[in-house]
Amino acid sequence: MRLNTSVMVDIETMATSPDAAIVSIGACAFDHEVINTHEEITERFYTTVSLTSNAEASRRLEAGTIEWWLKQKPEAQRALFEEPVRNLRAALVEFRMWAQALKPAATFIWANDPDFDVVILKSAFNAVGQIWPFQYYNNRSCRTIKHLAWPNDDTPDFRSGTVHHKADDDAVAQAVMVQHAYYRLVLS
């Protein structure tokens, strides 16, 4: 049982601006004070989002990002179209309901970079008339804790056979990294 619940979120997009089209949302619940393996983080969320519904919500697609996706590994590209593909509003409602159902309630929302993932998600929530389920002061950055724990950029690889750029796999790998960094900084 978790004592503290954090949510790690990762999104895949078709642009880098705050109004970027979101093509997948991945998340997991974890306790940042406990070290887990990928297999032990079982409360996961994943959905793919249709580009059509993004366009209907005036979400942006950028040629450079699409070109970047075309250079990624086939398994990462395939993950963008895993069924079921939801419309943007339904995907965001589903994510909000998942996050709000966590026990104990989530305290923090982590992202590799909240200035990217969280900003884009909040913008999308606003675009479809939904309320963002987290307080702004609970945003946490993976990049910051990683830099503090491994200032010489000698961070171990926490991917463990996951698909790079598959949102839920990235979220779990980032959560495991945060747990190890927290241990290295506070508990060791």
pLDDT digits (tens, 9 = 90+) for 53-100: 999 999 999 999 999 999 999 999 999 988 899 999 999 999 999 999
Which structural domain range is residue 135 located in? 5-187
Q: Is the pLDDT of residue 104 over 80?
A: yes
* pLDDT attached to residue 33: 85
Q: How confident is the model at residue 2 (pLDDT cuts 50, 70, 90)?
A: low
* pLDDT attached to residue 1: 54
Kindly state the tokens that stand for 147.
């830099």
* pLDDT attached to residue 152: 92
Q: How confident is the model at residue 179 (pLDDT cuts 50, 70, 90)?
A: very high
Q: Would you say 96 and 124 are in contact if contact means Cβ atoms under 8 Å apart? A: no
Q: Is the pLDDT of residue 27 over 80?
A: yes
CATH number, position 25: 3.30.420.10
What is the C-alpha separation between 92 and 88, in angstroms, rounded? 6
Taking the model in full, what pTM does it have?
A: 0.94
Q: How confident is the model at residue 159 (pLDDT cuts 50, 70, 90)?
A: confident
DSSP states of the chain as a string? --SSEEEEEEEEES-SSTTBPEEEEEEEEE-TTS---GGG---EEEEEE-HHHHHHTT-B--HHHHHHHHTS-HHHHHHTTPSSEEPHHHHHHHHHHHHHT-SSPEEEEEES-TTTHHHHHHHHHHHTT---SS-GGGEEEHHHHHHHH-TTS-PPP--TTPPTT-HHHHHHHHHHHHHHHHIIIII-
* pLDDT attached to residue 188: 65
Q: How many domains, the chain? A: 1
